[in-house]
């Protein structure tokens, strides 16, 4: 019998305690949590008690947990601006890595982590768990069958994203701090970016983006609450396009795929945004008519996301054991982060930009903080001080 992979969990926030740890505990053949680390005493205690670990295996210094000789895999669930050094340390210690998305808040930091993992020969698997939602598995299967013909456009509407706070013992609204999060709603839910690219079937190379803090009062913290992106992919002599529309609020959700021979539509209850809205169904329309895909409908969020996370973490464990490729590698996640950053650059500049350097070399190395230093048009939300210009003050709970 194969021994379970011994895991050090770094960061004990909501995603770790509500999603990762329950999956680990329910899958003892793949995973055994042997250490946890967090600087916040209440979160560290909660994680330790869930796993029933000896107090000596609960660390305030994450590097102690990472370097522990009995650890095979490091699972990094900290805020993204805290990840670079932890990822590099894990790789240099010869540990395989699970990392929440995004890899970092700055592309250069994510690139450093990817290069460290590649140099060390360890698996770096990123939790792009929406790939494992049943509607997207079904959609990719239908597209691969050729029923829709060549894919021309994909539209992913996530305009009703819930703005959920982080762990209460840490900084509940850290996602509204551009320095910590690296962006707002699009960064928070960049799941839609990699999903759109997967459905389109070709890598994004350019983007034209719009982003602004459009809600009343603009939250006063300088991250976008609305982002609209048109991604372009070159496929031989033609260009295919994916639209990703994202917002915190109450807008509609759903996915449409258009091919030369038909279309596919993923519907959610009340046209709301997944995964908070249950799936209502998938319809496929061609010249022969419309039919529904065979996919489970009506599954509520907790069960749906637990199942997807279980598959995502099992996929990474299997890649570690076999030396294979996880569904989302570090390189994949770096590209998705670059796409997201390039959207912000395009929104600031008011024009289409290349994804290769996140739209501008300075943005690759410094993230959204570099946007104010670019030559911007007067209408730019960055030039007007609406985006990425203010950092929340200490003491306001962020």
| pLDDT 10s digits, 64-104 | 999 999 999 999 999 999 999 999 999 999 999 999 999 99
**Binning pLDDT at 50, 70 and 90, where does residue 168 land?**
low
Beta bridge partners of 207: 231, 353
CA atoms within a 13 Å half-sphere pointing along the CA-CB vector of 282 = 21
User: In CATH terms, are 5-129+306-329 and 131-299+336-373 the same topology?
Assistant: no
CB neighbour burial string for 250-278, b if at least 16 within 10 angstroms, e if fewer: ebbbbbbbbbeebbbbbbbbeebbbbbbb
Q: Which CATH superfamily is domain 131-299+336-373 in?
A: Dihydrodipicolinate Reductase; domain 2 (3.30.360.10)
Lowest mean pLDDT among 6-20, 142-156, 356-370, 381-395: 381-395
337: pLDDT strictly greater than 50:
yes
Is 219 a residue whose pLDDT tops 70? no
Sequence-distant (6+) residues with CB within 8 A of 241 are 152, 153, 154, 200, 230, 231, 232, 233
Whether 137 has a pLDDT exceeding 80, the answer reads: yes
DSSP 186-221: HHHTTHHHHHHHHHHTS---EEEEEEE--SGGGGGT
Q: Is 217 exposed, middle or buried (0-12, 13-18, 19+ CB in 10 A)?
A: exposed
Residue 41, burial from CB neighbour count under 10 angstroms (0-12, 13-18, 19+): exposed
- Domain borders along the chain are 5-129+306-329, 131-299+336-373
Q: Please state, in angstroms and rounded to a whole number, the distance separating the CA atoms of residues 192 and 8.
A: 29
Phi, psi of 145 (to 5 degrees): -70, -20
62, 77 contact by CB (below 8 A) = no
SS3 for 244?
strand
Q: 50 is written with which tokens? A: 């869930």
Indicate the SS3 state at residue 356: coil
CATH ID of 5-129+306-329, from 3.40.50.720, 3.40.50.150, 3.40.50.1820, 3.30.70.1450: 3.40.50.720
| 48 close to 56: Cβ distance less than 8 angstroms | no
CA 8 to chain centre: 21
293: three-class secondary structure by DSSP:
coil
- Residue 217 pLDDT > 80, yes or no? no
Can you list the positions of beta strands (E) in 100-177? 124-126, 151-161
Phi, psi angles (nearest 5°) of residue 207: -150, 145
Provide the token pair at 124. Answer: 């770096």
Rounded to whole angstroms, the Cα distance separating 367 from 338 reads 10
The pLDDT, as a whole number, for residue 181 is: 87
Cβ-in-10-Å burial (0-12, 13-18, 19+) of 54 comes to: exposed
Residue 280 pLDDT exceeds 80:
yes
HSE-CB at 125 with a 13 A cutoff on CA atoms is 26
- Residue whose tokens read 């650890």: 71
């Amino acid at each position: 019998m194969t021994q379970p992979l011994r895991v050090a969990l770094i960061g004990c926030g909501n995603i770790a305690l509500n999603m990762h740890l329950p999956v680990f505990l329910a899958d003892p053949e793949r995973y055994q949590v042997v250490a946890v680390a967090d600087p916040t005493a209440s979160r560290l205690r909660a994680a330790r008690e869930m796993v029933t670990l000896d107090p000596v295996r609960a660390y305030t210094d994450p590097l102690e947990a990472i370097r522990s000789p009995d650890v095979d895999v490091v699972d990094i669930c900290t805020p993204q601006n805290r990840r670079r050094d932890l990822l590099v340390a894990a790789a240099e210690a010869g540990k395989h890595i699970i990392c929440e998305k995004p890899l970092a808040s700055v592309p250069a930091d994510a690139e450093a982590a990817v290069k460290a993992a590649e140099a060390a020969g360890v698996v770096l698997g990123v939790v792009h768990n929406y790939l494992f939602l049943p509607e997207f598995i079904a959609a990719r299967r239908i597209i691969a069958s050729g029923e829709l013909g060549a894919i021309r456009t994909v539209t992913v509407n996530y305009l009703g994203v819930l703005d959920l706070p982080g762990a209460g013992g840490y900084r509940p609204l850290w996602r509204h701090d551009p320095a910590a999060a690296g962006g707002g709603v699009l960064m928070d839910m960049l799941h839609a970016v990699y999903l759109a690219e997967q459905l389109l079937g070709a890598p994004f190379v350019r983007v034209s983006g719009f982003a602004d803090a459009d809600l009343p009062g603009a939250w006063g913290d300088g991250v976008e609450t609305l982002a609209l992106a048109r991604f372009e992919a070159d496929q031989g002599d033609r260009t295919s396009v994916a639209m990703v529309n994202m917002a915190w609020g109450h807008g509609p959700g759903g996915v449409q795929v258009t091919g030369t021979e038909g279309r596919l539509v993923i519907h959610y209850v009340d046209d709301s945004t997944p995964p908070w809205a249950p799936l209502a169904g998938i319809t496929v329309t061609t010249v022969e008519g419309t039919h529904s895909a065979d996919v489970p409908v009506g599954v509520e969020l907790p069960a749906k996301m637990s199942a997807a996370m279980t598959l995502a973490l099992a996929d990474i464990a299997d890649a570690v054991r076999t030396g294979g490729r996880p569904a989302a590698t570090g390189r994949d996640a770096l590209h998705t982060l670059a796409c997201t950053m390039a959207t912000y650059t395009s929104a600031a500049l008011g024009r289409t930009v290349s994804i290769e350097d996140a739209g501008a070399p300075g943005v690759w190395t410094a993230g959204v903080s570099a946007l104010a230093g670019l030559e911007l048009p007067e209408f730019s939300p960055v030039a007007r001080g609406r985006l990425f210009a203010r950092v929340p003050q200490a003491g306001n709970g962020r």
